[in-house]
Structure 1
Amino acid sequence: MPADLAVIGLGHLGLPLAQAAVAAGVQTVGYDTDPRACTELSAGRTPVEGSLSASDVRRMLSGGFRPTTNPAELGRVRTAVICAPTPLGADRTLDLTAVGDAARALAARLRPHTTVLLESAVPPGTTENYLLPLLEEGSGLRAGRDFHLACSPSRLDPGNRTHVYANTPKVIGGLTPACTESAAAFYGRLTDKVVRARGPREAEMTKVLETNFRHVNIALVNEMAVLCHDLGVDLWDVIRCAETKPFGFQPFRPGPGVGGHGTPVDPGYLPYRSRTPGHPLRMVSLAQEINDRMPQYVIQRCATLLNEHGKSVRGARVLLLGVTYKPDLADQESSPAREIASRLMDMGAQIGYHDPHVLDWRVRELPVPRADSLYEAASSADLTVLLQHHRTYDLQGLAVKAQLLLDTRGATPAGAAHRL
């Protein structure tokens, strides 16, 4: 059965897009090469932690959503959106393998007048220098003449109940003005506002700026956290005061590390040949270096606290609270919890964890004991470390029960715990 839209890649980007499209009455097919993902979705279950709920998936299915592993479905749609994952590779560049695979699968079945959109996080130039050649060579069609091509980077914020797909503006950069307008016509059905960029590179660079803005500012406040601790200054009170300034300041808060799917991108290092000379972003590299140091700083604080109370890390019982990258979600993508647990284990600590959203947690392929009773576990642990502040945690009560509590999120009442 033909559909209006094919979402290619049913992960953190693709599923919310498909949900928004189905809710808007767009006949949608979801394509993924992973049979497990399609099987789970067809059964009304979500295959991705921290994404849609089972009830969300069931509503999509009742609205006509069809998950499939059959690439033939890609040749029967008016619009195809590539939402393939682009994880960081060993060289810290984005891995475009999945984007390339998606492009080849689509190109073999691409029909004239189709609108092809790229939502995956990619370096500037990817739409024109990497995606376009794959689509043209595989289809025999010409972008901008026979089919429309545009980039509209995802702005997904999982768990955000205020800014959802419908009220978050979509930035669109088309290969030609006609490509931009075709993309705008599609996204105009899903969101209240579309913002037209001058072209694909400007749209791609918008994502780079937004993501790096977050990382650079988190790095700044992480450095401030270390400095303020050394000086005996309450950083959390400093932030509270600073955010009253009505201009020129946006509050960011420190933490044990930076998780999530929005990885920092340095366009000076491109995973393909580009006409653009590489100009590394020194600020981004430094921010990444600072943020990467935060798990080790947490370990240092843990060791110091234990030592001050006459205990050694070796043999200490340490309870980690919240192992996801974001509060109130099950998603563990790039969460610093695993590195912190691993380092503590290397130092001889006995690690346990509690997380209402994660029932099974492994570090180095080894299961970590899960605490059934939070208060009992905290009272018996030599040190409890809050890594993620889930709403279900009663931090006032926890501070009373725990022998030692290190709060890396500044969520406990002032004076109730040791803060980062």
Structure 2
Amino acid sequence: MLQELLTKIENKEYTIGIAGLGYVGLPLMWTFHERGMPVIGYDIDQNKVDCLNSGTPYIKHLGEEMMGKLAKSERCDSTTDFSRLKEADCILMCVPTPLNHHREPDMTYVEQTTRTVSQNMRKGQLVILESTTYPGTTEELIIPILEEGSGLSAETDFYVAYSPEREDPGNENFNTAKIPKVVGAHGEDALKLACALYDTAIVQTVPVSDCKTAEAVKLTENIFRSVNIAMVNELKVIYQAMGIDVHEVLDAAGTKPFGFMKFTPGPGLGGHCIPIDPFYLTWKAREVEQPTRFIELAGEINTDMPRYVIRKTLEAMNHHKKALNGSKVLLVGLAYKPNVDDDRESPTYKLMELFEEMGAEVSYYDSYVPKIKPSREYAHYAGRESVNWDKDTISKFDAVVISTNHGDINYSELGEWASCIVDTRNAMNGYATKEGQLFKA
């Protein structure tokens, strides 16, 4: 059974199944398809399946060309029928792993998907979890569910591995195929299969000793980013109090060819990884009675940044002799990072809530997110639409807060039209502004 599947993979005669067609699953589908493999995508969202089968983009930065090719290809199929999981030789699970209201791991999506896979498995398949999670998930949660639901045994009847996603939406220099793949597995046979699988589509595989090590790798990568972003966010607050431009400091420090890596401050953390992943480790660390003070401190600093933006906006409006209560505030940028339509965990949502709590009338502008989709935490904003970008619209706001520095925003026009600009991203650097108009936050 092992040799049969290994031969299929090495000869590129296997079928890949991808459960979850979002920001991770869809690029994986494209990557394996481009390498010539038949791909079946599975999702509970009928709209995503319909979009894939019709070639309609639902993730903007991935583009129309990719979706069109997938829709027309005889090697690509998408479905909500999970009974078709048996058609796949290798199954990749790419589902969300959010936090609950107590900042603890919410494994609902992973558990439900794993149960569905277990009820539709056959012997000889390779199952790989790609979702970011705490160390021990694959061994302690995934394998028992798969074995119980299928009546089969891991290592004997099927194979299990873990390989964390490393997507960076909108990064034109690194797509899925160009990012090395860390792989851990349940047993040597599963590791051999998983590495062979990714070798057919990814530039490099990086095998590690087991699943929990691979799970820890992804958390470490994002904790590293969280801690360093917290550091520059704290430096921003300190240096601004001293009359020092933190961005000038970081640009200069970034010229050092060794021993320094530049991170950029902002209004808080966004995306599905950095605001969430560190807390998967802090939660798991309690099990072994180990403190995570450094990680938690970074989380506190980053979580407080939207409130710092509010305070700076209050100062800006006070300079214009206006109260925040009753004023009109425009948030420029809803996506969590520039030039993508990914608004997951965006700090702009927190800014919306805080401004509204203080009595402001809040709107947003974002060409990448023209209309807010339903989400778990911010369902009350679903359906709200971006304002138009024109002089009559922008000039009516008492304050404009730049929360995401998209490349398609005309900052020269913003400088002409807005009376008060609070810049959290240094986006107005180099653009002409009037005296008393621009405030950095």
Q: TM-score range by the shorter chain?
A: over 0.9
Deviation per CA, 1:350-388: give whole Å up to 9, x if none. 222221112224873476564323433333322111111
2:416 to 387, 396, 400: 400
SS of the residue corresponding to residue 111 of structure 1 reads coil
Greater mean alpha carbon deviation, residues 114-123 or residues 261-270 = 261-270
Deviation per CA, 1:146-189: give whole Å up to 9, x if none. 22211000001111110111110000001112211100111111
Q: Say yes or no: does 1:265 pair with 2:278.
A: yes
1:18 — aligned with what?
A: 29
- Unaligned runs of 5+ residues in structure 1 are none
Q: Say yes or no: does 1:93 pair with 2:93.
A: no
Q: Distance in 2 between the 1:336 and 1:374 partners?
A: 25
**TM superposition shift of 1:124:** 0.4
2:67 to 57, 81, 89: 57
Contact 1:269 1:280 in 2 (8 A): no
2:364 — aligned with what?
A: 353
Q: Distance in 2 between the 1:280 and 1:114 partners?
A: 39
Percent identity between matched residues is: 34
Letter in 1 for 2:68: R
Q: Say yes or no: does 1:30 pair with 2:41.
A: yes
Letter in 2 for 1:284: I
Contact 2:369 2:386 in 1 (8 A): no
Contact 2:105 2:283 in 1 (8 A): no
Contact 1:174 1:199 in 2 (8 A): yes
Greater mean alpha carbon deviation, residues 63-72 or residues 178-187 = 63-72
Q: Say yes or no: does 1:225 pair with 2:203.
A: no
Contact 1:215 1:264 in 2 (8 A): no
Q: How many residues are paired up? A: 415
Letter in 1 for 2:45: D
CA 1:276 to 1:319, structure 2 compared with 1: closer, same or farther past 3 Å? closer
Q: Distance in 2 between the 1:365 and 1:418 partners?
A: 27
Deviation per CA, 1:85-136: give whole Å up to 9, x if none. 1111122122111111111111123222211111011100001000011111
> What CA RMSD, in Å, does the superposition of the two structures yield over aligned residues?
2.1
Q: Distance in 1 between the 2:406 and 2:289 partners?
A: 41
Q: Distance in 1 between the 2:396 and 2:212 partners?
A: 55
Deviation per CA, 1:203-246: give whole Å up to 9, x if none. 00000101111111111111111111111111011001110111
Q: How does 1:315-330 map to 2 (within 5 A)?
A: 315-330=326-341
2:398 — aligned with what?
A: 382
CA 1:380 to 1:33, structure 2 compared with 1: closer, same or farther past 3 Å? closer
1:172 — aligned with what?
A: 183
Letter in 2 for 1:265: P
Whose helix proportion is higher, 1 or 2? 2
Letter in 2 for 1:182: L
- Unaligned runs of 5+ residues in structure 2 are 1-12
1:130 — aligned with what?
A: 141
Q: Distance in 2 between the 1:369 and 1:205 partners?
A: 39
Letter in 2 for 1:52: L
Letter in 2 for 1:217: N
Q: Say yes or no: does 1:73 pair with 2:89.
A: no
Q: Distance in 2 between the 1:383 and 1:276 partners?
A: 47
Contact 1:117 1:151 in 2 (8 A): yes
SS of the residue corresponding to residue 75 of structure 1 reads helix
1:116 — aligned with what?
A: 127
Q: Distance in 2 between the 1:67 and 1:373 partners?
A: 37
Greater mean alpha carbon deviation, residues 361-370 or residues 179-188 = 361-370
Q: Say yes or no: does 1:146 pair with 2:162.
A: no
Letter in 2 for 1:379: S
Contact 2:370 2:386 in 1 (8 A): yes
Q: Distance in 2 between the 1:337 and 1:7 partners?
A: 31
Contact 1:322 1:354 in 2 (8 A): yes
TM-score by length of 1: 0.93
